[in-house]
């Protein structure tokens, strides 16, 4: 880890992109190998990609049920995501993005040290290229009728790579906002949430599971798109208000304080006074 942390930005970026490319190559290999799959494996993938009404009804029923009932759906999904998907996708992408992020930080890109022109170009190029790639991918998937044999593998590549450009474009926009004199109050609020990112993540998880799962209000599968958007904005407001009120009295969020204490093997000073 020390060698990685001390590596030059160029090496970090190149290494990060290579690591990010691993899932992309794996998925192309999976598509190439489809003719050699056992029939039952192919049928299972198709059923996962396009579940029937019975499978959908069973999942909805599980998530609207009590805590124990939910385990019928949650345990298999968690095991699959935290083993197989980590090995072929999440793990590689997360590590690669961390390395690329370290490179951008060392170059001063993530700390608003570059010129205004640099960030304008980053926003324009990143968003235009990224959204073009993603949009073209949507058209290609529709042309293939969203078949599992195409969309799960080759059709997935457009969003996988296009999202990297979109993210870089967002970095440009955020850094432009940070460099500007606009919205000092909004910057403070966003900073508070950023300082409590771990706690905010846990809080929004508690809110959403309480809203949608059966041990709470059981809204799983019942909220239309408009209602979902309203819930998202409402949760954002709750997180912002919670972070602002909490940090008036405490130096860290509760989860951040515990994590720091465990990391340094010493209880950290919690209260401001």
Per-residue confidence (pLDDT) for residue 123, from 0 to 100 = 98
Q: How confident is the model at residue 63 (pLDDT cuts 50, 70, 90)?
A: very high
pLDDT at 85 > cutoff 90: yes
Alpha carbons 261 and 152: distance in angstroms, whole number: 42
Question: Measuring CA to CA, which residue among 189, 166, 164, 186 is closest to residue 177?
Answer: 186
Per-residue confidence (pLDDT) for residue 4, from 0 to 100 = 78
> Nearest 5°: CA angle at 192, between 190 and 196?
115
pLDDT in tens, 34-56: 999 999 999 999 988 999 899 89
Q: How confident is the model at residue 273 (pLDDT cuts 50, 70, 90)?
A: confident
Per-residue confidence (pLDDT) for residue 272, from 0 to 100 = 86
pLDDT in tens, 182-200: 888 889 999 999 999 999 9
pLDDT in tens, 103-128: 999 999 999 999 999 999 999 999 99
Per-residue confidence (pLDDT) for residue 1, from 0 to 100 = 63
- pTM (predicted TM-score): 0.87
Give percent of the chain above pLDDT 90. Answer: 89
């Amino acid at each position: 880890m020390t060698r990685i942390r001390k590596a030059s930005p160029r090496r970090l970026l190149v290494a990060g992109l290579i690591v990010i490319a691993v899932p992309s190559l794996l998925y192309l290999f999976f598509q190439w190998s489809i003719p050699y799959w056992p029939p039952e494996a192919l049928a299972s993938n198709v059923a996962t990609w396009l579940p029937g009404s019975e499978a959908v009804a069973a999942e909805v029923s599980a998530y609207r049920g009590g805590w124990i009932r939910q385990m019928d759906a949650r345990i298999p999904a968690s095991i699959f995501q935290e083993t197989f998907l980590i090995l072929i996708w999440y793990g590689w992408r997360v590590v690669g993005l961390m390395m690329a992020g370290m490179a951008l930080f060392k170059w001063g890109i993530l700390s608003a040290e570059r010129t205004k022109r640099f960030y304008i170009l980053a926003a324009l190029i990143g968003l235009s290229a990224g959204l073009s790639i993603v949009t073209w991918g949507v058209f290609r998937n529709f042309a293939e009728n969203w078949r599992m044999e195409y969309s799960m593998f080759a059709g997935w590549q457009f969003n996988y790579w296009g999202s990297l450009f979109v993210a870089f474009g967002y970095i440009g926009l955020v850094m432009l906002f940070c460099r500007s004199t606009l919205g000092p109050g909004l910057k403070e609020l966003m900073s508070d949430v950023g300082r409590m990112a771990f706690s905010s993540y846990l809080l929004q998880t508690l809110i959403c599971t309480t809203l949608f799962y059966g041990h709470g209000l059981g809204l799983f599968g019942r909220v239309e798109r408009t209602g979902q958007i309203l819930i998202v904005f409402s949760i954002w407001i709750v997180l912002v208000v919670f972070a602002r009120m909490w940090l008036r009295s405490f130096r860290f969020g509760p989860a951040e304080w515990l994590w720091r204490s465990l990391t340094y093997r010493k209880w950290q000073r919690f209260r401001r006074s």
